[in-house]
Amino acid sequence: MNVWYLVCRTDSLTYTIAKALSIGGHDVSVWVVNPNLDHGLSQGIHTCLRETPRVRLVARDDTALPAAIDRLVIQVFPRPQESLLHLDALARRARRITLISAGDRNRSWPAAMNQQWMELRSLGLGVSRVDHVLYKDGFYPCDLLGTFKSRH
């Protein structure tokens, strides 16, 4: 399965998920929206990602995208608005989407619902292909994404 992973900048969660997918036998392409955002703080993680079999970092270049993506993983945080900037180019090619939401228990319930609404709006028609929603810091018992998607 070809997996593309959209992040604003890489972090330990990016590495953990990419490594797990590669161990599971998947080819993972990590599309970094803003690699210079952290002023080199992610260099260690970039090195670990480059050394992981079946994982590659991809420059932001629409011509590098395949015609179809089997699974798109979207990591919305740590910068939600910037993470969603390149969403359209990848989401329209994706057969299935996993969303790692920033609308989790790290925010107040109203702020989390607002964030989830923003994420859904950004996904547009691609929201129908979201089949899993992940939350780094847990989910609220009642939330917007949980009403129609599998939560983990």
Q: Is the dihedral of CA 144, 125, 82, 135 positive or negative?
A: positive
- pTM exceeds 0.75 for this model: yes
pLDDT of 22 higher than 80? yes
Nearest to 29 by CA among 48, 6, 63: 6
**Domain residue spans of the chain:** 6-151
Q: Residue 39, CB half-sphere, CA atoms under 13 Å: how many? A: 0
pLDDT of 51 reads 95
pLDDT of 43 reads 80
Tally DSSP H helices, then E strands, for the chain. 5, 7
What is the rounded distance in angstroms from the CA atom of residue 96 to the CA atom of residue 134?
Answer: 14
- Helices 43-51 and 12-23: angle between axes, nearest 10 degrees: 0
Beta bridge partners of 151: 133
pLDDT of 52 reads 96
Q: How confident is the model at residue 37 (pLDDT cuts 50, 70, 90)?
A: low
Q: Retrieve residue 85's tokens.
A: 């900037």
Question: What is the per-residue pLDDT across 41-89, written as a single tens digit (0 to 9) for each?
Answer: 678 888 999 999 999 998 788 888 999 999 999 998 766 677 777 788 8
Beta bridge partners of 32: 7
pLDDT of 28 reads 98
Q: Residue 123, CB half-sphere, CA atoms under 13 Å: how many? A: 27
Q: Retrieve residue 9's tokens.
A: 């900048």
Question: What is the per-residue pLDDT across 112-136, written as a single tens digit (0 to 9) for each?
Answer: 999 899 888 888 877 889 999 999 8
Residues 6+ apart with CB under 8 A from 23: none
